[in-house]
Structure 1
Amino acid sequence: MSFRFRGGANASSGMGVADHCKGTFLELQRKKAHRYVIFKIDDKKNEVVVEKTGSPAESYDDFTLALPENDCRYAIYDYDFVTSENCQKSKIFFIAWSPASSRIRAKMLYATSKDRLRHELDGVHYEIQATDPTEMELDVLKERVY
């Protein structure tokens, strides 16, 4: 007996990634046009889309406040810091936001679709899984880069 599977690299969820997701990421990465990008899954289109971008002047608090309290999202954050040698640096974080209070179906969908989006975003330095705001506080980012 043989089985046939439909779909591409992410046949388990069948989720696509909208073309503008990669373009928006490149604007953040190369042009510093955004401080952060928040992605959501559009159930109607069955793909990951850009929900919101933050201007370069926005703070980390602005970013965390833009995430929904009770629903999952993916996000990219461009973290600027100064090294012990006094050099200005930047590292890009991928954050998988899956609050404990979100629906089980949403958690499952975001968990199975994450790798597909991550594969499209070439140049991310660190990844954080967060189910609670304390798991992605600014200190967590600082610990990763130092």
Structure 2
Amino acid sequence: MFGRLARLFANEPLKNTGSLARDLLASERTFLAWTRTGLGFIALGVALEKVEAFAAIAPTLLQLENSNTKLAAGTLVASGSLCVAHGTTRYFGVMSDLKGGVFRPNKVGVMGLTAASIGIAFAGTLLVLENEGGHRRQQEDTRRAKQG
């Protein structure tokens, strides 16, 4: 059993012809960047969920009543997970292509991450504006209650 696992994870030596070693090392750095970006999205989603939990304990401190932070946190965690998964599949695909002497640009990954980042930024802006509007209404209601 351990022999099979060792063969599965064994690295075959490659001849360093041309720039193969440099290209493979660049691919590893790119994989680490995809992973770092994905983990950043995941961490932000988890932090946002913790803020929501804190707001449930002390809603007067954070003014997050009826917010969509659970949806936002889930979206961030899912986007981060997809980013890590894409980086992993991209790394192994590039390694295979480089062994064969070819290279394919990463159009899908770049466009996907760009679209996800823009979507998250847009949704975050809407969430902030929605919470700000609710906070202002609550302040007006409190002021009217004190006057009347």
Query: Is TM (by shorter chain) over 0.5?
Result: no
TM range (shorter): under 0.3
TM-score when scaled to structure 2?
0.21
Structure number with the bigger relative contact order (C-alpha 8 A, sep ≥ 6) is 2
TM-score when scaled to structure 1?
0.21
